[in-house]
Structure 1
Amino acid sequence: MKDTFETPRSPDDHYDAVSRTLHWLMALVFTWSYCTAAAHYLASDSALDKLLWPYHKPAGLLLLVLLILRAGWNLLQRHNRPPSVNRLASFGHGALYALMFLIPTIGLLRQYGSGREFSAFGLTIMQGFEGEKVQWMIDLGRDFHSELGWAMLVLIVGHIGAVILHALRGDTRVLRRMLGKVRRV
């Protein structure tokens, strides 16, 4: 029987360091973003909400920037990547990428349509404006930003669940792909 805990045999068995770093950095920022959203929805106007909510939009902007970097890097590395596990995994990843782009874009449209300034990390991202608000942009954000965000959380939980399921079945290759080479002590 094959040892499922052996290290990958070739670089093609795992993602490169840049891909892995972007993946785990995005996972951390997603965790933070969902914590801010949960505090806002579960304890609106609480001290916890007031502490965390101001960081939700900057986290979303950071995720969009990281996504653009990650997508660009993936495009450059498309011939040096491990093959997909199966079609369902490919579909799930495609849906995650689509939502990772749509959700912050819809949030930015809502922000722009409201006419309010948006600053993050000490930079003005959008100037506010006086005058009529752009109602369709506000409505798009109101109707879809949160709902798509929670739908993406379901996909993320499914993504994590699939990795756990593979590991429980003795197939650790899926997790090792994103961990890289594991050094034995």
Structure 2
Amino acid sequence: MRDTALRYGKVTRLLHWGLAALILWQLFGMVVKVTMEKSPTVSAIVGSHQPVGLVIFVLVVLRVLWALINRGNRPAHGEGLQGLAARAGHVALYALMVLIPFTALVRAWGNQRAFAPFGFEIFPAQEPPVEWAVAVAEWHGEMGWLMLVLILGHIAMVAVHDLAWRDGTLRKMAGR
């Protein structure tokens, strides 16, 4: 269950791959929204954005807490510049995983529409809307696209580690 110096534990792996799938779904939904005309299919995909985003936020909080609990047990990122780059990339990914849904929640709190994912109201409508809260959320989409770039870099570096350097990095998170 717990992380070790050799590999990530089952909980870490479940949170990693679960969040990866949900975040990729969110990014896919936004690509669909930007590139396709409105249709029932597009509306269904985009309509899942708020509830899935809320689930992501809850899972990210759990993931951060679990990472802190396992802090001294996790596999090392490496030494020197390579290790520093790996740590910086992971810090950036974690920061965006927290900030992106947080800004959406701030917007939802200050918005003139009620926030009721899964059919239960979390935040009532604000009349008038809270302007600074809505303004904060203008960064939500931009951070999402930045997250996509970091994810692509993350995947590319896993490929380099696994295919070129053959250092077993993928095995640590894949559980092989």
- Residue number in structure 2 paired with 1:28: 21
What is the aligned-residue RMSD (CA, Å)? 1.6
Q: Which moved more, 1:92-101 or 1:162-171?
A: 162-171
Task: Tell me whether 1:72 sits opposite 2:65 in the alignment.
Answer: yes
What TM-score do you get using the length of structure 1 for normalisation? 0.86
Task: Tell me whether 1:164 sits opposite 2:164 in the alignment.
Answer: no
* Structure having greater relative contact order (Cα 8 Å, sep ≥ 6): 1
Instruction: Select the residue among 13, 21, 31 that pairs with 1:38.
Output: 31
Contact 1:39 1:48 in 2 (8 A): no
Contact 1:92 1:155 in 2 (8 A): yes
**For residues 88-127 of structure 1, what are the structure 2 equivalents within 5 Å?**
88-127=85-124
State percent identity of aligned pairs.
38
* Structure exhibiting the larger radius of gyration computed from Cα positions: 1
Gaps of 5+ in 1: 1-10
Query: Secondary structure at the residue paired with 1:12?
Result: coil
The structure where helix makes up a greater share of residues is 2
Gaps of 5+ in 2: none
Task: Tell me whether 1:128 sits opposite 2:144 in the alignment.
Answer: no
What TM-score do you get using the length of structure 2 for normalisation? 0.90
- Residue number in structure 2 paired with 1:6: none
Aligned length: 170
Which amino acid is 2:23 matched to? F
Instruction: Select the residue among 130, 143, 166 that pairs with 1:148.
Output: 143
Change (3 A) 1:40 1:113: same
